[in-house]
Amino acid sequence: MILTIDVGNTQLLGGLFKDDNLILQFRRITSLGTSSDELGIFLRSAIRENGYDPFEVSEIVCCSVVPSLNHSLGSACLKYFKKEAFFVQTGIKTGLKIRYNNPKDVGADRIANAIGGISLYPNRDLIIIDLGTATTFDAITFDRNYLGGAIAPGLKMSMLALETGTAKLPSVEIICPEKSCGSSTIEAIQSGLFNGHIGLIKEFIQRFESECFNGRKPVVLGTGGFSRLFESTGLFTEIQPNLVLLGLKKALELNT
């Protein structure tokens, strides 16, 4: 079995693959300063408590946007699984031509998403929209040029900015509101967050089609924790919440 681990700013997302099937996924809050023992015990327990044997894990692949946790994570994999983790980072084989001015600046999670995207839709233009802590947009051409993209505050980050930056606006549940014109402060915030993001997504899809693909219609993949919230909007060709985990597995295959 292959253990895949995505360390994000808000959550650690884990996945367990057997052959080509994702048989388990699990999450925990990302906490700065987490020790290798805490991570190792959590990972092994998450696998065991879901009915799988952690000692059947043959390979581990990770991506992380929290560099301070990388050493602890690598040590946890060695101590608790007796495996050296493979980290997706600059210089590995990706199957992509990175057209960023400085390829080292591209987040490992964005690269993993792109690898996952081209594995699902080879020879197609792609826009990948990851709705997580940040909302990221990535453009990949049919011939596997990773052109770059855009980064915007995510839904929760935007909500927290309203809560902490104002005197009276409350924290709200992030949902798909029934109407755009809210009849309470909570409904108004929910509408602003959700419908504002719809506008953001539509605008970037339109601009990328023109700037990156010469008007060609790309496949638009939605992923990340909030992607299912937008499933009924018709904005996406497909929702793939676990795209980063698939990309990690494919990255490992490319480098072994």
Residues noted as catalytic: 109
Enumerate the β-bridge partners of residue 131: 135
Q: Strand 59-64 and strand 2-7: pairing?
A: parallel
d(CA 249, CA 240): 15
Dihedral-angle region of residue 82 (phi above 0 means left; psi in -120 to 50 means alpha; beta otherwise): left
The H or E element spanning position 205 is helix 185-212
**Under 8 Å between Cβ of 204 and 137:** yes
Collapsing DSSP to helix, strand or coil, 52 comes out as coil
Determine the Cα–Cα distance for residues 67 and 205; give it in Å rounded to an integer.
Answer: 31
- Tell me which residue of 6, 119, 125 sits closest to 62, measured CA to CA: 6
> CB-based contacts of 46: which residues, under 8 Å, 6+ apart?
14, 24, 26, 28
**What distance in Å separates the CA atoms of residue 97 and residue 114, rounded to the nearest whole number?**
11
- The three-state secondary structure class of 57 is coil
